[in-house]
Structure 1
């Protein structure tokens, strides 16, 4: 049985969120980040004087600014208050942590990793702090830190065998049963707890979705909800779970070899599949210029999408990211930094495809391997001759890093049957809409909860995903 388990830091006390942050911030405020802070506050933020910047935000909000500016300020204030919780490792402590595995590691080597963008950092009130999981990010590229323990590579042979079978049989199918659960152990008697757990949605790959068991008094969103969930509201229950089963088909087409699928498309792209969705899917000047350069001379939409995929998988390095609520304009920042994780890469691909005139959209949920289950994000793109196809940019980038060109090519146009799709839109509302600030205001892969209208942070929730069963069944395209 494969399990992913996320624990809070204390498991007991529900706190009031980041110190000094009123609960008036909401997820919709994050749609206004590109309004921008006033320059005097932005200078404080960029210099790392977060305490002063937060105080300046509070003073501005007391003046009742224009609504879109007020929303941006509330979101930025929340981001600044959350930043020290995630960028919490000082320079000296980071060096000491590396030396616990690599005693010969020097300060000069640390500075070199910073200079080469191998470690994510922020200045906070005059001191450099690095991301709390920076060690995991370093392990992705063991040649850069030869004195550290490398990242485990369990399951690679099993995965590659599955992909080869998929390619030889033109597709694979699975029937998968998962159990998701969330609890809020610190909620007090009489407080109203609401919870949302992602469940499989009906989509191009998935069908025959069945809810087998769930905590009583729950409600399941429509099959085509853009962020499908099972949800509850209770003044007595503190733990909630749902068990569901679904059939997933993963067709294979060798696009690099010229074997294009011939499938009638019953799901034509919508206008929003080709437009901006700010602040993160934004057609910025740099992304327009970069995309124009990459697709120069290409007319066919499939060639354009492939050129974008080739560029990103060959140039973007995988790096662990802070929570997305701390990120700026995600696609534009990724294109500048050439660093990102699965969701960052997917958003960049979607944005550049749309700029290139190729409709593209978000998919996310879980990567469900027989020995592990974890959150994952990828993309869909549309061409008239193929209909909708998938692209997994982070898996393609990983394949390039490991020298597996066949696998890099596989993930343009194809995925695999080890997936669960719950979300089809970035920044989609939950159903019913959440009543507090979500842990992740953009996506839902592990679940959300609130107590008396205040959204719970990760450290306040116990969340788990269990693989109950995975059955191999004949592939049917």
Structure 2
């Protein structure tokens, strides 16, 4: 089992004057003793730490130093409102940094943790005072994370420190004194040069927060240029990787401008390719009907870059006038599902009809990138298949470069990580991963009469029925809608089917803007009444949770021959079957057999590559800058010396070959 972290460097979080009492009050509220348990798998925290209903760190057995100090700083930061605008994923990263498990945090630990989260900063020893947090390195190589009670001074010189923490000598929480190794005659072992000091911020109410609020207001009002000017004033180094709140907000504006870039003349030209007699009055009528996606940016109307294709999905008049399109015969998914239903009746288990996949994934950075100086390090994360339930026998055949890191199974986003140096900036730079795997169809025989009760106080139920803002919001209107859909139905399997049918009927698919500029996938789908597969899936997850059915994200690629593409779907949980897939985007199938109609609510075809078991998770290894896609992971991610490369700076190629390993009934 994994140890939660190393015991790290001496770090002091100076609270400062009146704020020091707040830290000391929290630190002293934990009773002495309680047992010191520095053991594998133990969190070390004396309490469970939660944020917006999600468990950041469970309560451990007894405590150890990092867990105790994290519990104190977490509570103080919550009291000061420093965590109000932080996400659950940010706080998980904060915990890992605090424990020394985060990127570049193994030396300075909490200094890196508070600075990366934006709730504190480093200070000098002379500025440290009681109520700070300290984590120290010793000459032996061991370390200790503590709350500073006072410096020990002799002749005006600091020779040691008195602190409160959890340690073996006090069998858990208690007070102790240690001395610096360079203090004569004290026999100390604390390394003064590796004692790092930082300060937790005071409660937010400053000009920076006001400026961020004003910038957000300006964006909402369509005044992008003014918002950009306000945000640039908050970014001390505009050449640094995009990682701060202000820099990310500025980057989101840039991406929004890219998504909404078409003038009316450009849009009309696109529409006329399929409706040659369309004119400005048609655009005005379609716009007034709400069927042309647009934003008013700095006083000018700009249309979504895929507004023309969506128009024919939204507007019956435009669809009627559209020149006849070639109707190509696509993959018969419903026919396959009908055969899977027939096969499942005699199957020994839910995994049937295995399909072998062979994938070559190539990511190529375009030449002459402004960050690609000779000797620069290019880091790339490519999609890699999970070992999960119906997806098995994952095997890497080759990678280029050959040296690689594969994320552990069940990681939220499963990646293969590659890096190389730029030799010639004028040439493209490619990364390749070739692998194979087998995906089965998942076709459990579901019977509502077999459904078991949930353990409603267990971690699984409480986690996957909780709100997870901003994308899964369980506000009163959402809960009322879920209640209207499921009615008084007590059976969670039937409740999930009702929600599946509602989403299939009421949230039609459309081409979607990049997720990085959508504030809430779930709320966007519910308010607009349309969205792509990720939006549809998040609406399904949100409504399931609101109805008391645990649900979560899953995504990757669909690999139906001739229709290979990125795709998102979901899972919901019902005992005794456990996690069941649901594809609300492909939805209810048109077929006489109800089992075929609802197959994709509990079952799944085998033409999938499962990459992601969650959304908005940290990559492996972590990325420095704001991701091109911060929620999903399908195309990959790239950065050069810490600078993100957006999708228009590189190309991807997903080459997949599929081979059924068993004949379906129609092929026998």
Give the TM-score, by structure 2 length: 0.60
Range that drifts further, 141-150 or 461-470? 141-150
Where in structure 1 are there 5+ consecutive unaligned residues?
A: 1-25, 63-69, 263-267
Which aligned pairs between 1:354-369 and structure 2 lie closer than 5 A? 354-369=545-560
> Is 2:358 aligned against 1:177?
yes
> Is 2:298 aligned against 1:125?
yes
Relative contact order (alpha carbons < 8 A, sep ≥ 6): 1 or 2 greater?
1
Q: Distance in 2 between matches of 1:118 and 1:327?
A: 18
2:410 is matched with 224
Range that drifts further, 94-103 or 432-441? 94-103
Q: Distance in 1 between matches of 2:325 and 2:633?
A: 26
- Closer/same/farther in 2, CA of residues 456 and 157 from structure 1, 3 Å limit: closer
Secondary structure of 2:639's match?
strand
Q: Distance in 2 between matches of 1:192 and 1:404?
A: 56
1:272 is matched with 463
1:258 CA drift (Å): 6.1
- Report if aligned partners of 1:140, 1:150 keep a CA contact under 8 Å in 2: no
1:160 is matched with 334
Which aligned pairs between 1:103-122 and structure 2 lie closer than 5 A? 103-122=276-295
- Report if aligned partners of 1:37, 1:73 keep a CA contact under 8 Å in 2: no
Q: Distance in 2 between matches of 1:96 and 1:120?
A: 16
Range that drifts further, 213-222 or 145-154? 145-154
1:100 CA drift (Å): 3.2
- Closer/same/farther in 2, CA of residues 352 and 374 from structure 1, 3 Å limit: same
- Report if aligned partners of 1:366, 1:373 keep a CA contact under 8 Å in 2: yes
2:255 is matched with 82
- Closer/same/farther in 2, CA of residues 39 and 196 from structure 1, 3 Å limit: closer
Q: Distance in 2 between matches of 1:388 and 1:456?
A: 36
1:350 is matched with 541
- Closer/same/farther in 2, CA of residues 396 and 193 from structure 1, 3 Å limit: same
Q: Distance in 2 between matches of 1:208 and 1:98?
A: 47
1:441 CA drift (Å): 0.9
1:426 is matched with 615
**Residues 104-123 of structure 1: CA deviation (Å, up to 9, x unaligned):** 22333323332333222111
- Closer/same/farther in 2, CA of residues 28 and 275 from structure 1, 3 Å limit: closer
Which aligned pairs between 1:32-431 and structure 2 lie closer than 5 A? 40-59=214-233, 73-140=246-313, 143-145=316-318, 146-149=320-323, 154-156=328-330, 158-170=332-344, 171-186=352-367, 187-215=372-400, 216-236=402-422, 238-253=429-444, 269=460, 271-396=462-587, 399=589, 408-431=597-620
- Closer/same/farther in 2, CA of residues 260 and 310 from structure 1, 3 Å limit: farther
1:129 CA drift (Å): 1.1
> Is 2:639 aligned against 1:450?
yes
Secondary structure of 1:318's match?
coil
Secondary structure of 1:101's match?
coil
Give the TM-score, by structure 1 length: 0.82
Q: Distance in 2 between matches of 1:443 and 1:429?
A: 11
- Closer/same/farther in 2, CA of residues 404 and 447 from structure 1, 3 Å limit: farther
Range that drifts further, 99-108 or 323-332? 99-108
- Report if aligned partners of 1:176, 1:247 keep a CA contact under 8 Å in 2: yes
1:183 CA drift (Å): 1.6
1:153 CA drift (Å): 5.1
Range that drifts further, 144-153 or 458-467? 144-153
1:42 CA drift (Å): 3.7
1:405 CA drift (Å): 8.1
2:651 is matched with 462
When Rg is computed on C-alpha atoms for both structures, the one with the higher figure is 2
Q: RMSD of aligned C-alpha atoms?
A: 3.3
**Residues 50-72 of structure 1: CA deviation (Å, up to 9, x unaligned):** 0012222334567xxxxxxx965
**Residues 256-310 of structure 1: CA deviation (Å, up to 9, x unaligned):** x869799xxxxx9364322222211222332122112222212111122122112
- Report if aligned partners of 2:580, 2:603 keep a CA contact under 8 Å in 1: yes
Q: Distance in 2 between matches of 1:37 and 1:149?
A: 50
Q: Distance in 1 between matches of 2:283 and 2:210?
A: 33
User: How many residues in Structure 1 have an aligned counterpart in Structure 2?
Assistant: 434
Q: Distance in 2 between matches of 1:52 and 1:232?
A: 39
Q: Distance in 1 between matches of 2:261 and 2:636?
A: 25
Secondary structure of 2:559's match?
strand
- Closer/same/farther in 2, CA of residues 28 and 271 from structure 1, 3 Å limit: closer
Q: Distance in 2 between matches of 1:132 and 1:413?
A: 35
- Report if aligned partners of 1:343, 1:377 keep a CA contact under 8 Å in 2: yes
- Report if aligned partners of 1:260, 1:386 keep a CA contact under 8 Å in 2: no
Q: Distance in 2 between matches of 1:361 and 1:253?
A: 19
- Closer/same/farther in 2, CA of residues 152 and 340 from structure 1, 3 Å limit: farther
- Closer/same/farther in 2, CA of residues 159 and 127 from structure 1, 3 Å limit: same
- Report if aligned partners of 2:330, 2:563 keep a CA contact under 8 Å in 1: no
Range that drifts further, 362-371 or 131-140? 131-140
Where in structure 2 are there 5+ consecutive unaligned residues?
A: 1-86, 93-116, 118-208, 237-242, 345-351, 424-428, 453-458
- Closer/same/farther in 2, CA of residues 122 and 407 from structure 1, 3 Å limit: farther
1:172 CA drift (Å): 2.3
- Report if aligned partners of 2:383, 2:634 keep a CA contact under 8 Å in 1: yes
Q: Distance in 2 between matches of 1:435 and 1:271?
A: 32
Secondary structure of 1:420's match?
strand
1:142 CA drift (Å): 7.8
Q: Distance in 2 between matches of 1:389 and 1:241?
A: 32
